[in-house]
Amino acid sequence: MFPTPVEKLSPSINIGYRFLLPLTLFIWLLPLLAIFMTSIRPVIDINTGNVFGIPSQFNLIENYTTVFAKTDAWLYMTNTLIITIPTVIISVALACITGYALAVYKFRWALPLFFVFVAGNFVPFQILMLPVIDMSNRLEILNTVPGLVMFHAAFQTGFCTLFMRNFMKALPFELIESARIEGVDEFRIFWYLVLPLVKPAIAALSVLIFTFIWNDFFWATVLLQDDAKLPITVGVRSLNGEFVSQWHLISAASLLAAVPPVIMFFLAQKHFIAGLTLGATKG
């Protein structure tokens, strides 16, 4: 293990490390802690410059209920869910089948097509923006949730396919081969043999895509205009304009927007990290 475990070093380093750890964490998360402290203060504290001291009043519940009462925060949250969940289902499902095709079959186009998916996943959003707007407009789905979901699902298919293909590549190929010799149909091999084996990958992908889509801002601004359909990320930004310098409310709303991905992360931490670091260990 590198660096050498502190337990094996001198006692002063050992103890020093244990003190240093919470301290660095505190500094690292300082912006977050400060914004949380701001979100539970009354407005008067902010105006008098009491940022770090003890709040003159603890307004945790009051500030957060104000956010819900005064704004459409709740609507924005449900909108985000309506966008996020179908996207996760569609893109993960598509990735399972495309990833299977690219991982299991050895045909000449497998690698070039795989690289098309990988490359497409890396392109800047701006190069897609205008044609996607134009196409959605012609399909009459501009400014609708299905329009946004379709785009997200299609775009995320690139990343998901990359992920699934690499995961399936690591499966024991002899298993599939022997099933084929038995005369099992290709679709049955996929459904009964491969799909159960990639369940962990499905879980990891779902958690990741959920977070990606929840945090999406660009495409929601581009493809949705109707205020009643906006997701929370766009909503929070517009609140910023609405509550000029009412930072206790802005910070409360921002933190609310961050809650679901954070919960998702802590519930499925193992999958989440496995998903993000796939490929960081091989080779």
Partner 1 sequence: MSEHAMQTARNYETGKLQVVIGAVLLIIFLSAIYSIQVSGVANLLDYDREIEARVPTFLVRMFFVLMALVATFMIFTSTALYKRNRVACAPWMFLSVGMTFFLVYVIVPIFQSISYSFTRWNGLYDITGNWTGEWVGFYNYRLLFDDPNFVTSLINNVLWLALFMLAVPIGLAIALFLNQTVTGIRFYKSLFFFPFVISQVVVGLIFTWAYNPEFGLLSEAWSVFFCEEKENIVGNMTKVCSIDPPSILGEAKYATYGIIAAGLWPQIAYCMILYLTGLNNVSPDQIEAGRLDGAKGWNMLWYVIIPQLKPATFIAVVVTVIGSLRSFDMIATMTQGGPFGSTNVLAFYMYDQAVGEGVGRYGYGSAIATVLFAIMLCFISVFLWRMYQDEKVVH
Q: What part of residues 180-239 is at the interface with partner 1 (CB under 8 A)?
A: 180, 185-187, 190, 211, 214-215, 217-218, 221-222, 233-234, 236-237
Helices and strands of the chain, counted as H and E runs: 16, 0
Q: Are 63 and 249 in contact (CB under 8 A)?
A: yes
User: Which amino acid type is present at position 115?
Assistant: F
| Beta carbon of residue 112, minimum distance to partner 1 (angstroms, whole number) | 10
- The structure tokens listed for 155 are 């775009």
| Beta carbon of residue 65, minimum distance to partner 1 (angstroms, whole number) | 20
Q: Report the alpha-carbon distance of residue 255 to residue 67 in Å, rounded.
A: 11
Question: Which residues 90-109 are close enough to bind partner 1 by CB under 8 A?
Answer: 94-95, 97-98, 100-102, 104-105, 107
- 277 backbone dihedrals φ, ψ, rounded to 5°: -105, 10
Among the candidate windows 14-22, 57-65, 70-78, 198-206, which touches partner 1 by CB under 8 A?
Answer: 14-22
Burial class from Cβ neighbours inside 10 Å (0-12, 13-18, 19+) for residue 280 reads exposed
Among the candidate windows 54-62, 65-73, 89-97, 198-206, which touches partner 1 by CB under 8 A?
Answer: 89-97
Of 54 and 116, nearer to partner 1 (C-beta) is: 116
Which of 66, 32, 33, 34 is closest to 50 using CA atoms? 34
Of 69 and 127, nearer to partner 1 (C-beta) is: 127
User: Which amino acid type is present at position 82?
Assistant: I
- The structure tokens listed for 92 are 């993960």
- Residue 116: which H helix or E strand, with range? helix 110-122
Q: Report the alpha-carbon distance of residue 248 to residue 269 in Å, rounded.
A: 30
The reply on whether position 276 binds partner 1 by CB under 8 A is: yes
Among 44, 116, 175, 267, binds partner 1 (CB under 8 A): 116
| Beta carbon of residue 117, minimum distance to partner 1 (angstroms, whole number) | 7
Q: How many residues sit in the footprint of partner 1 (CB under 8 A)?
A: 110
Among the candidate windows 62-70, 71-79, 156-164, 197-205, which touches partner 1 by CB under 8 A?
Answer: 156-164
**Contact pattern for partner 1 over residues 51 through 80, marking x by CB under 8 A:** xx----------------------------
Among 151, 201, 249, 252, binds partner 1 (CB under 8 A): 151
- The structure tokens listed for 244 are 């000029």
Q: Are 168 and 104 in contact (CB under 8 A)?
A: yes
